[in-house]
């Protein structure tokens, strides 16, 4: 508990009292009467935000592994497109990517009438598949670059040892290379996931209803500007805090990386 005592210094108590007062002031003198009416919608939006975050980080990471591998050790015909993909994703604003996917692809539909007859049409009509696709590609682009470094920095001696024992290449990848690469990126993964969380409100611009768009809805219905935004900021901070805490826990459970000699 020494950490806790070190944390509780006199000036911190003062600051806490100050912030407590600020929060109390916010709670008492700002308008919160809209909250009960919009609470169900807000919960639905919160669920959608978390759902999008989880699905796109998992899919994006799965895509980042081959992207990183191709760049780290792949032949040029694999590494060049992977590198180009990462450069394009990282070099253009996500908002533009989302609009290109949603409205750009949408503008092609009228030219190809058969699309509307296809079995995919019920999905293509909705907004969330485009949101998931755009955010997945974005996460893959950023994380692919990170994975490249992670694959490259795995100790060569271990790979050579595995090969010397006649381990098949796939087993070697699964048992030695990938686990160590993931351990290398683990400290950055939490930060990248928080960045992904911060990217989710952009999908509100293509009619996906998540927590940010609920706050816009409150603003447009009631003309209350600050209160929904402040609450929204608080919600994002709490989610970011949970993500940081969870990754810290996972990181603590993974044994330290061996010192390189």
161/230 with CB nearer other proteins:
230
> Does position 118 bind other proteins by CB under 8 A?
no
172/200 with CB nearer other proteins:
200
What is the DSSP secondary-structure string of 30-77? S--TTHHHHHHHHHHHHHHHHHHHHHHHHHHHHHHHHHHHHHHH--HH
The interface region with other proteins, picked from 24-32, 58-66, 134-142, 218-226 by CB under 8 A, is 218-226
11/156 with CB nearer other proteins:
11
* Contact call for residues 206 and 52 (beta carbons, < 8 A): no
Identify the sign of the CA torsion 249, 136, 58, 185.
negative
CB 219 to other proteins: min, Å? 8
50/240 with CB nearer other proteins:
240
Interatomic CA distance for residues 163 and 49, integer angstroms: 44
CB 4 to other proteins: min, Å? 16
> Does position 190 bind other proteins by CB under 8 A?
no
Using CB under 8 A, count the residues that bind other proteins: 59
What is the DSSP secondary-structure string of 189-257? HHHHHHHHHHHGGGGGGGT---HHHHHHHHHHHH---HHHHHHHHHHHHHHHHHHHHHHHHHHHHSPPP
> Does position 108 bind other proteins by CB under 8 A?
yes
> Does position 116 bind other proteins by CB under 8 A?
yes
Number of Cβ within a 10 Å radius of residue 109: 13
Number of Cβ within a 10 Å radius of residue 258: 9
Contacting residues toward other proteins, per CB under 8 A: 9, 11-12, 14-15, 87-88, 90-97, 99-100, 103-110, 116, 124-127, 194, 197-202, 205, 207, 209, 212-213, 216-217, 219-221, 223, 225-226, 229-230, 232-233, 236-237, 240-241, 260
């Amino acid at each position: 508990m020494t950490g806790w005592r070190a944390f509780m210094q006199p000036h911190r108590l003062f600051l806490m009292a100050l912030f407590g007062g600020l929060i109390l002031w916010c709670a008492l003198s700002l308008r919160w009467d809209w909250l009960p009416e919009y609470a169900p919608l807000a919960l639905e939006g919160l669920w959608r935000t978390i759902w999008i975050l989880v699905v796109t980080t998992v899919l994006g990471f799965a895509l980042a592994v081959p992207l990183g591998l191709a760049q780290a050790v792949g032949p040029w015909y694999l590494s060049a497109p992977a590198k180009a993909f990462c450069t394009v994703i990282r070099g253009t604003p996500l908002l533009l990517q989302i609009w290109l996917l949603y409205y750009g692809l949408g503008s092609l539909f009228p030219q190809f009438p058969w699309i509307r007859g296809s079995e995919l049409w019920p999905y293509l009509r909705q907004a969330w598949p485009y949101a998931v696709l755009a955010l997945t590609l974005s996460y893959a682009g950023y994380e692919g670059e990170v994975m490249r470094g992670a694959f490259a920095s795995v100790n060569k001696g271990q790979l050579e040892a595995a090969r010397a024992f006649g381990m098949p290449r796939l087993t070697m990848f699964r048992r030695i290379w990938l686990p160590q690469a993931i351990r290398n990126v683990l400290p950055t993964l939490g930060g990248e996931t928080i960045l992904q969380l911060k990217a989710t409100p952009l999908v509100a611009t293509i009619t996906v209803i998540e927590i940010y768009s609920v706050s816009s809805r409150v603003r447009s219905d009631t003309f209350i500007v600050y209160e929904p935004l402040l609450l929204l900021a608080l919600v994002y901070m709490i989610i970011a805090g949970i993500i940081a805490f969870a990754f810290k826990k996972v990181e603590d459970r993974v044994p330290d990386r061996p010192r390189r000699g």
